[in-house]
Structure 1
Amino acid sequence: MNVFNNIKLWSLAATLFVATSCDSFLTEEPTSDLTNSTVVQDVTGLNLLLQGTYRIMRDGNNAPAVASPLGLKLLSTVTGLDMMVNQEQVGDNWYFHTFSNQRYEATSAVPGTIWTAMYKVINNANIILDNVDQVQGNAAEIAAIKGQALALRARCYFNLVRLYQHTYSIAQTKPGVPLQLTADLEPKARATVAEVYAQIVADLTQAVTSLADYNRPNLNFYNSDVAHFLLAQVYLTMEDWANAQAQANQVRTGYALMTIGDYAAGFSTPNKEWVLGYEQGTQDFWWYDSPACWFDFGQNNAPWQAEQVLPSNSFVTDVMAGDPRLLVIENPLYPGKYAATKFRELRNEPPYGNLYDLRAAEMYLVEAEAAARQGNVSLGLQVLNMLQNERGAAVTTTTNQNALIDAILLERRKEMWGEGLEWFDILRLKVPVVRTLAQGHYQNVNIPQNSNKLIMMIPEKEVINNSLIVQNPNPDQVPVFVP
């Protein structure tokens, strides 16, 4: 079954089972006793709840511009060095995608919207996990439901702990986010970053086991490959290089790379490299938050000529010069700028194309980096060259460890541009964000490494409703992270 069909039914399920509202966050009590009824006492009911939970996750709680997986990718993309919000097109409306206070302040809609969406998914997952071991039904189906709920919860906590606190290597003992692990909604203090990561690893490790025999119906669903993928990302962020390498290898060896022809085809048609994506029917067209929407300038007569995101001139002329993945043209609407053609809508009527979330090339890069950081230069170089050869790109030959790591990180920028790794790499690598008018950006930006502008403050309403919550420093008062 396609997770995004039967929208009305699953939207109803999401409405019935979500126990937090947009305004009151974690401390609100459930508004219904339906979770105590027979609905959560059999496989059919739990599976219905799971589908509604997928829907909330995919839609970002109906706020996809920032809170869905693809919305977070957009926010991450325009945080980095290479892509920028098109100020000529959107004016002042998208300041939250720059480094203004609309992005991080406790009263801003952005931190609140993301926080609420993540905890709604978490609470739904908790309802499932509170009940799944007691239900009657097919053991394989029960294991699959449990594994998917664990993976969904883990991904939300991974998003939260990276967005509301600095990276693991410098902030392990600092406040992370509250760990709600049951559906009781009792107020919780912020667990430490280390505690949150430990829970994420535990959830994903258990998900791998529970999903071992699960054959998903299509790419919309989380299976063991998705759990391995997320674990690789988590271990990379923790700088646990051995486990990052092992988890990435689990995915990398199971997925061949797409051809450069597939790469240039627009990222709207699933191919052998896709690990997670959202297949769309005629009633399922979320083109408003797809990469094609962000970058589109009207190709294929697409209706959403948004031009929201542009590649910077320096990215085109310096970083990507001569690379076959440089899929840009001179901008037909904004002279002196470039327009990306990497992401394309397929047609001028619904469905406009499928949406990709996770793809295997990232795992090639994680495995290569993790191997290189452990001193296994030969393996790191071998895996990196696999990707470069498939793309027809310049091949790295260095056997110097530090030079190889730099080459792998550069390859992440080249291979994954516009795909949402930028912000999270800035945080984990602890690098500054410097953008200039001379590079073709719309603003001069100089954000130092570990700036508190790179994370978000806890939403004000959560702090008011939960006296156990300690707020993050205001970047205007404490500009950078204090160990």
Structure 2
Amino acid sequence: MMKKLQFMICLLGLLGLGACSDYLEKESSDEVIVKTVSDYSELLLGAGYPSPTKAIYNTLYLLDDDFMLNDNNFNDETDNAGAVGVFPFFTWQPDMWERQEVDKSSYDETYSPTYERIMGVNAVLDGIDEATGDVEERDRVKAEALALRGYYYFMLVNLYGEPYNYNKKALGVPLKLTADMETNGKARSTVEEVYGQIVKDLTESSALFEKYTKRRGSFRINLPTVNILLSRVYLHMELWKEAIAAATKAIEHGNLLTNYVNLPASAICIANYSYSEVEWVYGNGNTPSRLNTVLVSSDLREKFDANPNDTRRLLWFDANWNVTKKRLSYPSGTPRMPTNSIRMSEAYLNRAEALVQDNQIGLAWDDLEHLRENRYRDYDEAEITDAVALLEAIREERRLELCYDEVRWFDLRRYGMPAISHRYKARSSANWQTYVLTEKDPLYTLPIPNEVMDENPGLQQNESAKQPLRQGK
């Protein structure tokens, strides 16, 4: 059964890369054996790592407050297809996954694709300890797989479970820790239980990586990346000392920040190992801006424009405020490359926020100042010594630095789920309507797709699915 399962994973995850026939030994016409460390490494790359051709979490960017609709491309006669396609997510509809207008090629549900990747990761973890080959390489593959599982469960529990610091006893998602992915009757673990597994996986991954010399590149997770993710998780758990320790380990083993001040404006995507601070490049994070549907929100623009010395404005955005350089769309006919990145700047921001919360104000300021010195021309600012003001400054800098990095929506949740609003229309002649996500709104926790609920009677649906349809005003 396991051989067939691994074979299926290989076909689904690697066939497009032409890798299966190269490294898997055939046992019969429909079975293969994954035996060596190299086999498992390739299996993980194709079936466990985020795909560079399909974006799983595009909908995240439509939920938060960093996008607005781009009505420059609307007309008076027909509804704009892009605007119609984003409507269920942009207006926080309780039936967002089931709406007929949804373009599933761009905004399909995130639950099942994430578990498909977890299945690939678990297949590797099920067999890697017995794989033949170099011990160091075996440890590295295992460390990567553990880190990926931690990453995926962090994404799932923050999409479909309530915020940890709001209700950790709430239902999270089912914990599936083997490649036997039978879902029928599998109940949801609590948010607290899922976070416990995430911490366990990331901590074990870090310990394995730490035994060996750091590697960087080849679109694979490394030691600094794991500890950046771990510090992110601890922020959500409000374990400040643990967040500080994880971020510090990332900084000790990671590369230097890239000094943006000396970089010329270019079309190079930030998810590129040519930037010293980039530790992991992964997945496909192309946002709806590639369809000319949305632009950077007015609120976020104002924050960038508030300081003309902020070099990120020209490095990341074009004159029309499309997200073109941080999430590069590759020309038709060229190989698709990963467009997401985890960078050392997050380690400094994570540590700064945790230091403030731990009442280490001076050290928190040092981290914020260090980041800003690498982002602002002619940087010269008086030290902020008030804890409340410094926390606000760190969180604002976090919004600027980590925009469109799978962070903002989750941050809003842990900040207390504040009220936000979106203006919507689909053609030029229509009046704008405002849709509101209220403070602590049930839709801060997404509904589980009905198709998933139908397949697994052991699941309990979120309250968000039972809300009335949202109406604009």
Q: CA deviation at 1:461?
A: 2.7
The residue aligned with 2:77 is none
In the alignment, residue 124 of structure 2 is paired with which amino acid? Answer: I
In structure 1, the residue corresponding to 2:169 is in which secondary structure?
A: coil
The residue aligned with 1:448 is 438
1:415 matches 2:407: no
* Identity within the alignment, %: 27
| Contact 2:91/2:436 (8 A) holds in 1 | no
Q: What are the residue-to-residue correspondences of 1:8-157 with 2, within 5 Å?
A: 8-10=17-19, 34=31, 39-54=33-48, 57-59=50-52, 63-64=54-55, 67=56, 72=57, 74-89=58-73, 90-101=82-93, 104-105=96-97, 113-157=109-153
Distance 2:64 2:453 in 1: 29
User: Aligned residues, how many?
Assistant: 422
In the alignment, residue 326 of structure 1 is paired with which amino acid? Answer: R
Output one character per residue of 1:170-227: Cα deviation in whole Å (capped at 9) or x when no partner.
Answer: 1211111111111223442101111100001101111112222265472400122221
Evaluate the alpha carbon distance shift between residue 433 and residue 82 of structure 1 in structure 2; reply closer, same or farther with a 3 A threshold: farther
Gaps of 5+ in 1: 17-31, 279-285, 297-305, 332-337
Q: CA deviation at 1:345?
A: 5.1
Evaluate the alpha carbon distance shift between residue 314 and residue 426 of structure 1 in structure 2; reply closer, same or farther with a 3 A threshold: closer
Match of 1:461 among 441, 451, 455: 451
| Contact 1:320/1:414 (8 A) holds in 2 | no
Q: CA deviation at 1:151?
A: 1.0
In the alignment, residue 84 of structure 1 is paired with which amino acid? Answer: M
Q: CA deviation at 1:472?
A: 0.8
Q: What are the residue-to-residue correspondences of 1:54-453 with 2, within 5 Å?
A: 54=48, 57-59=50-52, 63-64=54-55, 67=56, 72=57, 74-89=58-73, 90-101=82-93, 104-105=96-97, 113-187=109-183, 188-212=186-210, 213=212, 215-216=214-215, 218-253=217-252, 254-260=254-260, 261-262=262-263, 264-268=265-269, 269-270=272-273, 271-278=275-282, 291=286, 294-295=288-289, 306-317=291-302, 320-323=305-308, 324=310, 325-327=312-314, 331=320, 338-339=321-322, 342-343=325-326, 350=334, 355-392=339-376, 395=381, 397-435=383-421, 443-453=433-443
Distance 2:380 2:432 in 1: 30
In the alignment, residue 84 of structure 2 is paired with which amino acid? Answer: D
Q: CA deviation at 1:353?
A: 7.3
In the alignment, residue 435 of structure 2 is paired with which amino acid? Answer: V
In structure 1, the residue corresponding to 2:389 is in which secondary structure?
A: helix
Q: CA deviation at 1:377?
A: 0.4
CA-based RMSD = 3.6
In the alignment, residue 457 of structure 1 is paired with which amino acid? Answer: P
Output one character per residue of 1:23-64: Cα deviation in whole Å (capped at 9) or x when no partner.
Answer: xxxxxxxxx984xx5x23332332231122245x224xx642
Q: CA deviation at 1:127?
A: 1.5
The residue aligned with 2:460 is 470
| Contact 2:24/2:34 (8 A) holds in 1 | no
In structure 1, the residue corresponding to 2:420 is in which secondary structure?
A: strand
Output one character per residue of 1:310-337: Cα deviation in whole Å (capped at 9) or x when no partner.
Answer: 1223432356322423335653xxxxxx
Q: Which moved more, 1:395-404 or 1:194-203?
A: 395-404
Distance 1:63 1:14 in 2: 24
| Contact 1:49/1:124 (8 A) holds in 2 | yes
| Contact 1:43/1:136 (8 A) holds in 2 | yes
Q: Which moved more, 1:176-185 or 1:416-425?
A: 416-425
| Contact 1:274/1:358 (8 A) holds in 2 | yes
The two structures have a TM-score, normalised by structure 2, of: 0.78
The two structures have a TM-score, normalised by structure 1, of: 0.77
| Contact 1:122/1:153 (8 A) holds in 2 | yes
Gaps of 5+ in 2: 1-12, 74-81, 425-430
Distance 2:86 2:329 in 1: 26
Distance 2:169 2:138 in 1: 36
Evaluate the alpha carbon distance shift between residue 13 and residue 381 of structure 1 in structure 2; reply closer, same or farther with a 3 A threshold: farther
